[in-house]
Amino acid sequence: MARFAGQRSANLDPTARGWRAGEIGGVEVRIDPSLLLIAALVTFSLAAGTLPREVPRLNAALYWLFGALAACIFILSILWHEMAHALLGLRYRIPVKRIVLHLFGGVAFIARDPERPAHEFWIAISGPLSSLFLAFIFGALGNLPNLTGAVCNWLALINLTLALFNLLPGFPLDGGRILRAALWHFNGSYRKATRQASRVGQAVAALFVVFALLLFVNGFLFNALWFALIASFLYSNASISYRMSLGGLPSEAPLFRVLRHNVPLIDARLPLALLVWRYLNNAPDQAFPVFHNSALVGMITAEQVERVPRLDWGKIRVGDVMLPLSAFPILFVTEPLEHAKAQLDAYNVDHAPVFNGTQFVGMVNRRDIVHPT
pTM here is: 0.80
Ordered by start, the domain boundaries in the chain are 2-245, 255-370
- Residue 373 banded pLDDT, cuts 50, 70, 90: low
CA 139 to chain centre: 28
Q: What is the pLDDT of residue 266?
A: 96
- Say what the pLDDT of residue 124 is: 95
Q: Which residues contact 214 (CB under 8 A, 6 or more apart)?
A: none
DSSP 280: I
Q: What is the pLDDT of residue 107?
A: 86
What tens digit of pLDDT does each residue of 50-62 get?
A: 999 999 988 999 9
**4 pLDDT more than 60:** no
Mean of the per-residue pLDDT values of the chain: 88
| For range 55-84, the mean pLDDT | 94
Instruction: Quick: pLDDT tens for 188-214.
Output: 888 889 889 999 989 999 998 998 999
- pLDDT tier for residue 8 given thresholds of 50, 70 and 90: very low
What value does the mean pLDDT take over residues 169-177? 88
What residue spans of 218-354 are helical by DSSP H? 221-245, 272-275, 302-306, 318-321, 337-347
Residue 356, strand partner residues = 359
pLDDT at 243 over 80: no
pLDDT of residue 247: 63
Helices (H), the chain: 34-45, 51-54, 60-91, 117-140, 146-166, 174-187, 190-217, 221-245, 272-275, 302-306, 318-321, 337-347, 366-370
The pLDDT tens digits of the residues spanning 107-166 come to: 888 878 888 999 999 999 999 999 999 999 999 999 999 899 999 999 999 999 999 999
Q: Which fold has domain 255-370?
A: CBS-domain (3.10.580)
333 neighbors 355 (Cβ within 8 angstroms): yes
pLDDT in tens, 301-321: 999 999 999 999 999 999 999
- For residue 102, pLDDT over 70 is answered with yes
